[in-house]
Amino acid sequence: MSRTFIPTRRAFIVGAGAALAASALPVFAAPSARELRIGYQKAASTLVLLKSKQTLEKRLAPLGVSVKWTEFPAGPQLLEGLNVGAIDFGYVGEAPPVIAQAAGANFVYTAYEVPTPHAEGILVHRDAPIRTLADLKGKKIALNKGSDVHWFLVAALQKAGVGYTDIQPVFLPPADARAAFERGAIDAWAIWDPFLEAAKQQPNARLLADASGIVNHHQFFLSARPFARDNGDVLSVVIDEVGKEGAWVRGHYSDAAAQLAPIQGLDANVIEAGLRHYEHIYKPVDAAVLASQQRIADTFAELHIIPTKIVTQDAVLVAKG
């Protein structure tokens, strides 16, 4: 199986080697003049809570803006939705924007979440002889292609002096990867919360390493460039509301977990542990964050995970005037 990930402008290659075609995306109606279409993942707890409480809708109604929510299974698919004009705004990790920009997606970084390195990790079987990252050489490692853990795994291997071509990547979405891990079909699994925390609590799993000291694990709010250019007032309200929701989570972890449990389909204790791995603090994108993204872009280009070099600064909205 080729390890080269070459996305195109029409589709990203995601999942177990399957192509994500435009026909696989949901069918979307054309937006109204003042409609905000938000893409979210079930694991994006702040947005999930915001959606359930309808507080954003209440804030935007006086501006004549309606809100439409669309769920995506992971960041790469969400960015494809943004690329084809299906959504205006979304929340993803640090690797998907790099891959999307290389594929020509017309988006801008809107805000970021401060580093959350404990929220992703590499799991191995409890009785496996794998004790260090260097021991991953030659092993089968499951990961979601093009997601945050793709970058985390690359950086972890680099730190251990192991080449990316010295492992056997197995590209699987979280549910399939967990099944493969449980039946022993893979040696290790790179995954993020809340799936990470759920798997850690299983008797057959052991955390080999999280991202601490390896990568920042930033999360980003992204906007379609045309929408950001013309709807700065709407985006200001959105970022303000997610910031308030993040502050509420930091003060009410148990309550937040209880509300998320029936939505995310996990035990509230698992969700709470995962929530505590995130900071839920959002800031404007700055030069240091863009430099961190550039490092990902340069590495991915060298490994041919993306087909061309990019400049992350190009995905920033330049103020008028």
Assign 3-state DSSP to the chain and report helix, strand, coil percentages, each to 5: 45, 20, 35
Predicted pLDDT at 35: 95
Tokens matching residue 12: 């990203």
Of residues 235 and 17, more confidence is placed in: 235
Residue 5 confidence class, pLDDT cut points 50, 70, 90 = very low
pLDDT tens sequence across 21-75: 333 444 444 444 589 999 999 889 999 999 999 999 999 999 999 999 999 988 8
Q: CB burial class (10 A; 0-12, 13-18, 19+) of residue 172?
A: buried
Q: Domains plus CATH for the chain?
A: 31-116+218-308 (3.40.190.10), 117-210 (3.40.190.10)
Length of the chain: 321
Q: Quote the DSSP letter at residue 300.
A: H
Q: Quote the DSSP letter at residue 7.
A: -
Predicted pLDDT at 33: 59
CB 300 within 8 A of CB 309: no
Nearest to 245 by CA among 278, 197, 290: 278
Percent of the chain with pLDDT over 70: 89
Q: Quote the DSSP letter at residue 297.
A: H
Q: CB burial class (10 A; 0-12, 13-18, 19+) of residue 90?
A: buried
Is the preceding omega at residue 194 within 30 degrees of 0, hence cis? Answer: yes
Nearest to 155 by CA among 93, 75, 211: 211
* b/e map 266-286, b = 16+ CB within 10 Å: bebebbbbbbbbbebebeebe
Least confident of 10-19, 27-36, 135-144: 10-19
Q: How far apart are CA 23 and CA 97, in angstroms?
A: 22
Least confident of 48-57, 72-81, 184-193: 72-81
Predicted pLDDT at 30: 44
pLDDT of 178 > 60? The answer is yes
Predicted pLDDT at 76: 86
